[in-house]
Amino acid sequence: MRKVMLFLMFMLVVSASQMALTVYTYESLGWIEESAVGIFEEKYGVDVDVIQLGDGGNVLSRLILEKRNPRADIVIGLDQSLAVKAIEEGILDTYTPKNLSNIARKEYIFDKTGRMYPFDFGAIAIIYDPMRMDSVPVSFEDLKNYKNSLVIQDPRSSSTGQAFLLWTIAIYGENWKTFWTELKPAILTVTSGWSEAFSKFEAGEAPMMVSYATDGAYSYHYYESTQYKAFIPEEGAYLQIEGAAIVKGSKNREDAEKFMDFILSEDFQKEIALNQWMFPVMEVKLPDAFKYAVTPEKIVTIDTDIIAENMEKWISDWEEIMY
């Protein structure tokens, strides 16, 4: 009888775990568990399990690894370049959110296949500590003159790092490899992700790092200071747009659809600015701190089809230059 009771208890636990909606995301998007998920759980009576997997590249790798037996129902945080690979691998399912019209501008919708939809965006930028610099670069060309002064993220594992690589390709075109060869002496180190890069930057290991144009807003909000500045090279800014999608093979399809709709609701979107430090894709009131975010005057882009055709080769060429 005791064995039967233990078995029944075990099955109840397994059943409960299977009913929970599983969301894969990267580490610095873990705030959704405290700031947004509770609203969804209360509204729909659905338990949500948020799994944080390092950076965006780590999230994508796990999804590919679990392709034949998916454990996640939702993935949130892949940007337009990582989404290309996810779509190629066939790990995302189609779904059109019921509140799709909440997205303020059609240009934010980067996936033409109807699998991934945007929830936030922001411009990649170089942040710096003016207390540790005698002069400030204004262009990509200027960056080459600052030896061992820049921390970047690895484009093989980091969505921020991959966005920076794409930014330079958008600027330099076929000459991007020459630029990276000349930039290499200015790079102090390459980290696996944004969090590690920021730790090194904040510790004073380097006066510059690849980050986001909203970092000034972050600094003002938390420290009432604008010690760290951000600049966008005069050649133009590159927008990183992050999306969410239902994982193909989701065992909780109905709840997954509800969560996709929730991501494009005001309840979720209003939490983005002060948690994710990106811009929401909906028109919601932004906090005062965002007046310290750098707004790009010029935007450069690369079509997602071109990214799909060339990304692996670009990564391979980058790897050859750096290592």
Over residues 56-113, the pLDDT tens digits come to 889 999 999 999 999 999 999 999 888 989 999 999 999 999 999 999 988 899 998 9
How does pLDDT run across 255-304, given as a tens digit for each residue? 999 999 999 999 999 999 999 999 999 999 999 999 999 888 888 989 88
User: What is the DSSP secondary-structure string of 282-316?
Assistant: S--PPPGGGGGSPPPSSEE---HHHHHHHHHHHHH
121 pLDDT higher than 60: yes
The amino acid sitting at 228 is Y
pTM recorded for the entire structure: 0.80
> What is the C-alpha to C-alpha distance for residues 191 and 240, in angstroms, rounded to an integer?
19
Can you give the pLDDT at residue 304?
A: 83
What is the average pLDDT value for the chain, to the nearest integer? 91
First to last CA, the chain: 63
Give yes or no for a contact between 150 and 209, defined as CB atoms under 8 angstroms apart. yes
What CA–CA distance (Å, rounded) separates 73 from 88?
18
- What are the backbone angles phi and psi of residue 45, rounded to the nearest 5°? 65, 30
**What residues form DSSP beta bridges with 244?**
76, 117
d(CA 191, CA 147) in angstroms, rounded, equals 17
The whole-angstrom separation of Cα 233 and Cα 31 is 30
pLDDT mean over 126-137: 92
Please enumerate in sequence order all residues whose Cβ is within 8 A of that of 75, keeping only pairs 6 or more positions apart, or say none.
Answer: 23, 24, 25, 59, 63, 86, 92, 244, 245, 247
- Total Cβ atoms within 10 A of residue 183: 19
More confident site: 14 or 178: 178
Rg (CA), the chain: 21
Distance separating alpha carbons of residues 244 and 258, to the nearest angstrom = 12
Q: Phi and psi dihedrals of 138, rounded to 5?
A: -120, -10
| Torsion angle, alpha carbons of 107, 193, 52, 87, to 10 | 40
**Residue 13 banded pLDDT, cuts 50, 70, 90:** very low
